[in-house]
Structure 1
Amino acid sequence: MLSWSANLGNFRQNLTQTGEISQRRDFRREGQELHERRLYGVGFAVRNSLLSTIESPSSGTLRVLSLRLTTSSGPANFLSVYAPTLCSTAEAKDQFYEELEAKIRQIPAKEHLFLLGDFNARVGADHDPWPRCIGHFGVGNINENGQRLLELCSFHELCLTNTFFATKLHHRVSWRHPRSRHWHQLDFVITRRTLLNHVLVTRSYHSANCDIDHSLVVRKVRLLPRRLYHSKQKPRPRINTFRINNPELREHFARAIDVALEGCPTGSATERWNHIRKAVFQTFGKRERKSADWFEPGVAELEPTIAAKRAALLPHKNDPSTKTLAALRAARSNTHRIARRCANNYWSSLCQDIQLFADMVNVWGMYESLKKAFGPSTIKTGPIKSAKGVLIKGRSKQMKRWAKHFQELYSRETTVSNTALERTHPLLTMGELDAPPTIEELRKEAVAGEMLGAETAPDMSGTVQFDGSCSEPFPIRNGVKQGCVLAPTLFGIFFSLLLSHAFGDSDDGIFIHTRSDGGLFNLARLQAKTKVRKVFIRELLFADDAALATHTEAGLQ
């Protein structure tokens, strides 16, 4: 597509003399009649293949002509411009820029906008005062027309693409002064600042013979197609298998399926399955979404408001104005208000169901309601790497890596250095616990071991379960068996030594009075002056848990 702004009479006469161009182009121009004096005019030359994308009518004046195309990235608006020269009157310049600004205001901000033509303005090379409008590759100095043009571009967030590309100097200029023979940059291609990344290059071609004193300015642009959103198809209904665990529903399903099989049609398999499926759905119901949406329960109330919002949006898109914008904002506000109310009703109802199931001690119903509230649980697995840090792919290789890891972990011999033993503080010995067990105590322990099925085999082996499969058994050479009474005892000893080493010099803790001669809950016996011990307690151990004790909050910190 070509845009020109020049002496339209001579330009149009030369174009019609070339038959090849007239067969491939459609010309749209705005100028004087044939019997009138033609000083200037504007127009477009469009390929015949693009005529179907032009939206009619294309209106304009002698200096500004608009053209609107429908593209894959949205509507594209083109303005062919011919500005007054520097020696024109101020009234002519004011009238031109008022017409141009009125045209720009009519174009929505989300649509593409391109201004093409001879602006008869020099914007200069000073980038600092106009960083959003001029690039670093301007030419010459600014004049009065350039000041007007830059003010317009700054107000509407437009930029002059000729000044943003580091082309050769003679590719940035388009007109040479007839007397001084100096080249100037008067013809610009202007677009929105947000579209500058889509412009590939803008340059002048001096070899193009258009029979005018201005060189041809070409701008290459790549517009990305607009993303298309497709409506999601409604999925097939699925049976609610979570309700199979209900014994009452299972009995009801057994009776319903017998009735369905008795009256089953003898046609195709699809007809027979559809007949049986009705009995299944009537018993167990359809599976709902794992994360219940508040939109579905309130769809009867939300659909009219959404339709009203869409009805208000269409007039604003076609004819933006203050009135249509106010109507659209009112419709949006009403939709948001009703949506918040529907969401609040949904969550309030769900909370009441959870509380009702909890009061009825219905664990299964409460758990299902909680899953609706929190949504499906996500299972996250981290990448598995080898000992050298290489990422392992494949389930069999990952299984071997896990087995090798645990085999090395449980087959490693534990050694304690002499330095660690020397730094370990010995604990006080309780002599009363060192007495040998009696015959009765040994008999009780033996009976308890037989009841628990104690194993005497010294060898232990283990397997790794990963993704539903198990690895080959491997030997375990350290640690104790699962469920062994030594496990919490050994852990308590180790953890006590660890805490003693970490807080051995700390005075934070509590003192308690205790005695071990019976009558534990007789507080009067603790007031005695004999047989009472004062014990300093810093931590309390139970199985694999520990709690620190002190009188002040600062001591805990």
Structure 2
Amino acid sequence: MAMFTLNSSSGVSSPIGSPGGASMNSDVTIKVPFKQRTKIGIWNVRTMAQPGKIQNAIQEMRRIDLKILGISEMRWTGANHCDIEDFKVYYSGLPKKLEYGVGIIVHKSIAPKVRNFVPINERIMLIQMEAAPVNINILQVYAPTSDHTEEEINYFYTQIASITRKIPKKEVLIVMGDFNAKVGQGRTGNHIGPHGLGERNKQGDKLSSFAGENDLVIMNTFFELPPRRLYTWTSPQDGKKEGLIVRNQIDYVLINQRYRNSCKSAKTYPGADINSDHNLLVAEFRVQWKKLKTNQSNKPYDYRKLKNQDIKKRATEMLKKELEHIKNSPETDVKIDMINTAIKKVKTEILVRDPTKKKSWMTTEILELMEERRIKKQHDKSGYKIINTEIRRKIREAKELELKEKCAEIEMAQRRYDSFNVHKKVREITGKLKKKTVGKLENEQGEIIIDINEIKETWKNYVEELFADQRNEHEIPNTMTGPDILVQEVEAAIRSMKDGKAPGPDEVQTEILKLLEENFIIELTNIYNNIYNSGIIPHHWLKSEFIVLPKKQGAKRCSDYRTISLMSHMLKLFLKIMHKRLYRICEEQVSPTQFGFMKGLGTRDALFSVQVLFQRCRDMNCNIFACFIDYQKAFDKVKHNKMMEVLQDSGMDGKDLRIIKNLYWNQSATIKINQENTDEIKILQGVRQGCIISPLIFNLYSEAIFQEALENMEEGILLNGKRVNNFRYADDTIIFADTAEGLQHLMDKVTNISRKYGLEVNISKTKSMIISKEKIEGVQLIINNKVVERVKTFTYLGTTLNEDWDHSQEIKCRIEKARSAFNNMSKLFKTHNLTVEMKMRLLRCYIFSIMLYGIESWTLTGATTSRLEAFEMWIYRRILRISWMDRITNESVLQRMKKDKEIMHTIKRRKLEYLGHILRNENKYHLLKCILQGKVYGKRGVGRRRISWLKNLRTWFATSTTGLFKAAANKIIIARMIANIR
């Protein structure tokens, strides 16, 4: 066994992963086992955004046997990690711009050791790795150049110093990257060695101060090497004049003083090539990596294999065999465990995803050319440029070939009616595959938290505080008359369950539950009846797992994240059966002004109600004073005792109440952070996230609030002799009246009653608006002694409302959003490798769906119609790659596309169909019909009338209002009218 000698009195510790740091009074030689050597590289690559750059870096890593490579000037957007060949790439950049950025590429053999990844910003990132006996922290940086301000440079060093201080002293810290600083030749204290290069500059002083203050050693100044092994950057002035050499050392690797002996060498590799003006700097460390147990639960499964009839048959037979003794067990918990075990066996033996290697567009020829370019780097600059140009050309050809092949796959999937793979391939081409965004977390003092245990504790405290409440036990009435669950109900619930949903902690998947044969469904029905009749819910059904997703870019605080709950699919199936029974109660008691979570109602109905009623009021000179209420965490602040009172008052059966009570009073959750879970947390308030009956419960809860708040209130808009004063979509609420005093009175009542039920109005996000032809000034709405901000525009359910009630602004927004989506997917739409028919299908799916959101509520003018048609032609011209200079008429464009104009046809059809939908379902849409036809009290002003919602239809279909209503009530006549649209 190889050994090395450590002089303990020198203040230098043993290699990484070895015991050390003991203080001794005399020189003692300690024999320590020779550890594994690991090469870590640092490279400013200028950009990784160019095609082929990442493959070039990986090729050089393989050649030099680098296990870790830190990248400066990554220039990738966002913060994330991804797998490329045998490497995992971590990166941190700006949200949108391809500037700056840092990254770390880790070999697959070491990637599992990464326990935590913290993207600080576009210049700093941290990965924490598990080693024995101490962990390793690698901080990759890219410092501002001297062109930046002093404040920017100082801020950079303040940030890395702040992170450095958070690393435990006993752990290894490596700070590396492009510091854009020259520390120069000559020793400085214990932190800079004598073998640097050149003269120190101002940035070098800052780096020296940072290293000295934080007990770090700049390792590539401690090894005596020729200058060609020291310089890391070649200036553009280098070689401009004969004999002029301008080469500097500005990239460094730093390690904490205690572990400096672990670094055995640090030198540059001028022969390594990535078409950059920086040289690769490689430091060699002695490391003992920690052996980790593989987590079987993280295995990827492919449930789409069940579409193969042979595999489905095998899985069904295995499930049948594993459950053949389920009848012999009388215990409900034992039966559920047997089902869970059987399902897990099917997954692990049949449904494990095949380890198919992702096909890369990169070719062997290009990689060989890159190697040839590398060889010519030092001695043949002209040859280097020629080969570099050839590499670029070959890369373009390879990328075009890849696009052609993927387009062929899309067409093939379309011919097989495989919509899943059609859209998957589209997202691959356009780069729209859903990726987990990695964020950072700050504490209350605004400091970034980097320790994974501290992160878990912060999340645990936040969720505990969010769901904390004082609640008492609730007595359930003895009216237990609920009928037993039928086999047919279980079968119907299983059929209606959606595939592709993430499993809960028990890892049972819906796709496999659908394989259960009739006799096992009978057993499952018996299990559910035992639970329903006893009220005793299996303990593992009561446990949920929260995952956190950022609500916005740059999320830093826990409140900037959304928690998503994953629960058992077996429980979801049981609650789906309950949902069918409870929905009737909910439907009977919820007001028609609530459009959220109700069958046959949605955002289009809520938008139609607001848009058409307010437009009609404005036309009749009936002023509207509106308040858009935003509640603070509405779903998370529902009080359980109040909730049970509301459910009991609704007439819900005792069995259902008991199940809901036991679910809420015994539930707990953990939060999953970086594949690790926090301790269990008791959930003491709020409706259950991810639970199918939660929307019904919330609707009944909010209905109780508004019934109590608005009972016997005379404020609102007079419509057909009755007052309407609110529209709701779940917790998105609009309160309105025809006077400012009336709105103030309504809001006082709603605010007070909401507080009684545990819901607080968020004043900072709640806004007011006045819709009137007159300019009304000096009117203020007061909530909790604070003035509510009055706005001219407001985004409600994804659409823009404005005080002039003019739809042209919303239509402009929709067009620009659709234009942006088209530009993001232009690579797909402009290719010659897809048929026009396929492009049109994708266009309707991805572009027109964005533009036409909420069109049922639009009122169009001639100008907005022209704008929509012009945008449609703009799209077709770009699909056909026709320039405006080509002077091609719209008629010729449509002939080439083999179609007529489509957008206005779609708008006319959908508005007419929606009118018929309202008129044919009088009971369901009574409020919408009143809004459309009912009397609005007021006096119309002089002058030409504004175009109304019905005026559009009368003009388009050349009929009167009476004729329109008669025709719309008959589906056959509507079909005829649509067929004759011009």
TM tier, smaller: 0.3 to 0.5
TM-score (norm 1): 0.38
Structure with larger Rg: 1
